[in-house]
Structure 1
Amino acid sequence: MFSITPSSRLRPSPFYAATVAEGACAMTSYNRMLLPTSYGDPEAEYWRIINGVSMWDVAVQRQVQLRGPDAGRLAQILAPRDLSKCKVEQGKYVALCNHDGVLINDPVLLKLDEDRYWLSIADSNIWFWAEAVARERGLDVEISEPDVSPLAVQGPLAETVVADICGDWVRDLKYFWFRETEINGIPVTVARSGWSKQGGFELYLMDGSRGTELWNIVKEAGQPHGIGPGNPNWVERVESGLLSYGGDTDDRTNPFEVRMGKYVDLDVPDDTIGIAALRRIAAEGPKRHQLGVMLDGGAPAKADFFWRDVEQEGAKIGVLTACAWSWRMQRNIGLALVSVSARPGDPVVVRRPDGDLTGKLCELPFL
């Protein structure tokens, strides 16, 4: 067992004390914060989100706020997705790219007002990117990281729990839509969203001093429904084929390679960053694509089973980016980024230092 050395570079989550009290026993770093990854019983945490309701500290999912007269223009410059019809209180999944069309983040964009947007980001310094672009373009917009920290409530019973807390109006929220409100005087933004396919909400806490209070409110409301602590569940996300930016992508990955093509609009304005490259890639066709892998062998995969070479007839065709033991499928499954010449149904070999595994490529999602 090892300890984490405190550092001014590692910021505490508003929910940190609550997660420690709940028994968090493993964490990883993400956006200069700690993300709880286990409470000691991975299988119980998995079944909780599949069958019931789970609550997660996802404060690491930081917000980059664009505010000012040119906020909407900057959002469109950054995102190769048509935002012209995006309404206040609506969110959209977007693929932020660099000038070469390489994916640099996959946030949910939330439009809070005509002159205020949040980019709810994955793990990378988009604040610096947005600030540099705004200054270079001479835009009248302020870039900041507001005091906003999401708490996720996920699983088939999540709607019941959040409705008990906020009211039945949450049942009418469409996916990625949201509303600002208060819970016992605590300012929050309630969004139907979250990194799972089991359904749920994210409560964007807008006062970091009240993290434990909000945690306990959700915990109490969820008690009749068997709520418990969890985390963005690795197994469920592989089963569901959810993209992990930085986990399933490298420094060459474009949106078309990882099934994000439907979130790219090629007719956005020409000053949208990366759009020229994305138009070219779309016309030529991507060189790689993301597929699932059904692996042979009955023993659950080890936690270090990432970025292993995938071969076909002795030639490398790509890499396995993630692997998990699926309790529902009772086998190892994985996500692969491979040449477009490889197709679902093809047999493959995954190279590992402690022994190769055979498998078969398949479409996503698994479940």
Structure 2
Amino acid sequence: MSFDINIGPNIRKSAYFEATVADGVRSFSVYNHMYIPGNFGDPEAEYDRLLNGVAMWDVAAQRQVELSGPDAGALAQYLTPRNLSATRVGQGRYVPLCDHDGWLINDPVLLKLEDTRYWLSVADSDIHLWAAAVAREKRMDVQVFEPDVSPLAIQGPKAEDVTAALFGNWVRELRYFAFRETELNGIPLVLARSGWSKQGGFELYLTDGSRGGDLWQAVKEAGRPFGIGPGAPNDTERLESGLISYGADMRLQTHRTNPYEMGFGPLIDLAAGHDFIGRAALERIAANGPARRRVGLVLDGDPVQPNAHPVQLLQDGQPVGHVSEVAASRRLGMNIGVGLIRADIADSATGLSVALPDGTRAARLAPLPFA
């Protein structure tokens, strides 16, 4: 289903907003208090470009929280259970953030720009308020604020060629999550090999919001020989690839999860000895084991419609978990979904079903990512 969304002054617009309107954006969502494009009128073509060509996305709503000052590194480490001691300047890290009870409150990418300067590239929640309050309560010598940064993503198999055409072949040597501060025709930015897809690509962290239209046009022109087109982060591709979505798969206010349930166990370093928020809670969970685990599902029947809310996962008619999102995968030729199930239920379990709004569908568990 789809609805109109009013464009008003109370919701922030990205540095690329006018460019996306000029290029035919047809829907928006609201993410981190900002408009983010949903599609440009042909979702199937946008999906095909992502899988087989190259797409450009306005993901400026992927806001940055800057930690700057002598205690920036200490604050970054206190916010996450992941051990950051080996993180180098120019390197990114995927870092789960938890509250004091061990519930996940975000899963940003941390970028270390200097020993005293970090960005948290956050999902949809007010982490800048959390981090600022923590820093003040801990009496840390650090500034916490939202910098003038607006990411633009280039994603797909041809993304590397487009990015090399813009910046030079040195971009081909960047490792995943590595980044470099650079510029393009006088436009300042940070270039990272990253993005919310498994098709490969880069994110251009524009650091002068007044140049958003210029950067959009530069990427569009460089990508023209490669068939680039505008699009948006794709829910079907993220399910196929097993990517986690804060807000869909986990959200503190509605369906709380801990990092062990979401498969983040390898990122939790309890042996390093550093203190971090939620440590005592995560030690208890690690000792007892998580009560649920993240799973993929294949659903029977005709192509499903995307669900607007989490739905129940049943075994023999009894609730055993929930499914956060489903989609019909044209590439795989089946209905797929992701969710959480009781940890004691085996991969070979039978009698499973998903209670969708249009009726219950038989289901089976499947490994992530989907083949």
Deviations 1:278-328 (A, max 9, x none): 121111100011101101012x22233541111001210011101111111
Counterpart residue number, 1:61 = 62
Classify the secondary structure of the residue corresponding to 2:230: strand
- On the 8 A contact 1:110/1:118 being kept in 2, the answer is yes
Per-residue CA distance 1:177-197 (angstroms, 9 max, x = gap): 100000000001000000000
Q: Give how far 1:115 is off.
A: 0.4
In the other structure, the counterpart of 2:333 is 330
CA contact (8 A) 1:94 1:109 kept: yes
Mapping 1:268-279, distance limit 5 Å: 268-279=272-283
Aligned-partner Cα distance in 2 for 1:334–1:343: 17
> Residue 277 of structure 1 aligns to a residue in which SS?
helix
Cα distance change, pair 3–292 in 1 and its aligned pair in 2 (3 A):
closer
Change (3 A) 1:64 1:305: closer
Q: CA deviation at 1:137?
A: 0.4
Shift, 1:276, TM fit: 1.7
Q: Among 282, 294, 302, which residue is 2:298 paired with?
A: 294
1:364 pairs with 2:365? no
Question: How much does 1:264 deviate?
Answer: 1.5
Q: For residues 48 and 345 of structure 1, do their structure 2 counterparts lie closer, same or farther at Cα, with a shift above 3 Å needed?
A: farther
Amino acid at match of 1:174: R
Report the counterpart of residue 284 of structure 2 in structure 1.
280
RMSD value, Cα: 1.2
Matched, 1:70 2:71: yes
Closer, same or farther: CA 64–29 of 1 in aligned 2, 3 Å: same
Give the secondary-structure state (helix, strand or coil) at the position aligned to 2:243.
coil
- Runs (4+) of structure 1 moved beyond 6 Å? none
8 Å Cα contact 2:90/2:112 also seen in 1: yes
Check whether the contact 1:192–1:201 (CA below 8 A) recurs between aligned residues.
yes
CA distance in 2, matches of 1:53, 1:212: 19
Query: 4, 7, 12: which one pairs with 2:6?
Result: 4
Q: How many residues align?
A: 365
Question: Which secondary structure does the structure 1 equivalent of 2:56 belong to?
Answer: strand
Deviations 1:38-97 (A, max 9, x none): 111111111111011110000000000000000000000001111111100100000000
Judge which range, 58-67 or 341-350, deviates more: 341-350
Q: C-alpha displacement at 1:250, in angstroms?
A: 3.8
Q: Relative to 1, partners in 2 of residues 1:203 and 1:44: Cα closer, same or farther, differing over 3 Å?
A: same
Aligned to 2:162: 161
Residue of structure 2 aligned with 1:257, choices 254, 261, 286? 261
Higher alpha-carbon deviation: 254-263 or 303-312: 303-312
* Long gaps (5+) in structure 2: none
CA contact (8 A) 2:306 2:325 kept: no
Q: Is this contact kept in 2: 1:270–1:276, CA < 8 A?
A: no
TM-score by length of 2: 0.96
Distance in 2, matches of 1:181 and 1:270, equals 34
For the 8 Å contact 1:305–1:323, the answer to whether it is kept is no
1:31 aligns with 2:32: yes
Task: Find out whether 1:101 has 2:105 as its counterpart.
Answer: no
Partners of 2:232 and 2:270 lie apart in 1 by: 35
Distance, in Å, in 2 between the alignment partners of 1:270 and 1:109 is 18
1:250-281 Cα deviation digits (max 9, x unpaired): 43300111111122111244531112211211
Structure 1 residue 3, shift from structure 2 partner: 4.2
1:352 deviation in Å? 2.6
With 322-331 and 119-128 compared, the bigger mean Cα shift is at: 322-331
Counterparts of 1:195-234 in structure 2, within 5 Å, are 195-234=196-235
Q: Which runs of 5+ in 1 are unaligned?
A: none
Report if aligned partners of 1:306, 1:323 keep a CA contact under 8 Å in 2.
no
Residue 40 of structure 1 is matched in structure 2 by 41
- CA distance in 2 between partners of 1:99 and 1:142 (Å): 22
- Secondary structure (helix, strand or coil) at the match of 2:359 reads coil
The residue aligned with 2:354 is 350
Structure 1 length as normaliser, TM-score? 0.97
Question: Which whole-Å CA distance do the structure 2 matches of 1:289 and 1:255 have between them?
Answer: 10
Deviations 1:201-260 (A, max 9, x none): 000000000111101100111111111111111110000010001210143300111111
Q: State the 1:7 CA deviation.
A: 2.9
Q: What secondary structure sits across from 1:356 in the alignment?
A: strand
